[in-house]
A = this chain, B = another copy of it.
């Protein structure tokens, strides 16, 4: 990935391999895809913090699975709409979701540098989850 003339399909393929790594919870491979300086929604987590966040996500949601609904890429960026169908064990995004099977989307942007993710801007569709739970205000 050091060659700037890398063919266009590389970034989408790399991103799919990253999601496959997550879905296999192959944490020893995560360093192939995530940079040491990675930031998530403005938080400078670094690689260890980022991995810890993902490990915790699978702890909180044992049937978590990352599935691409839409994938758009203009190097060095990837934008994905991810579709989730999963069952949090307990509270999720501050909502009483324990044991409830939820369907929701995440629209997320990634910036890559030399083949690794350096910045992530993620928004999860919390309003859709609230609608399923009948929770929180929805005037």
Contacts and interface: CB of A to CB of B under 8 A. Distances in A.
Interface of A: 69-74, 77-79, 81, 91, 93-96, 105-109, 121-127, 130, 135-139
A16 B126 CA distance: 27
Contact of A109 (B72, B95, B122, B130): B72
A100 B93 CA distance: 23
Interface of A is mostly: strand
A139 B109 contact: no
Given A107-B107, A107-B121, A123-B123, 18 more contacts: A70-B109, A70-B121, A72-B74, A72-B77, A79-B109, A91-B139, A94-B130, A94-B136, A94-B137, A94-B138, A105-B123, A106-B123, A107-B122, A107-B123, A123-B124, A123-B125, A135-B137, A136-B137
A124 B124 CA distance: 8
Nearest to A78: B72
Contacts of A122: 107
A114 to B, nearest CB: 19
Contact of A73 (B70, B74, B124): B74
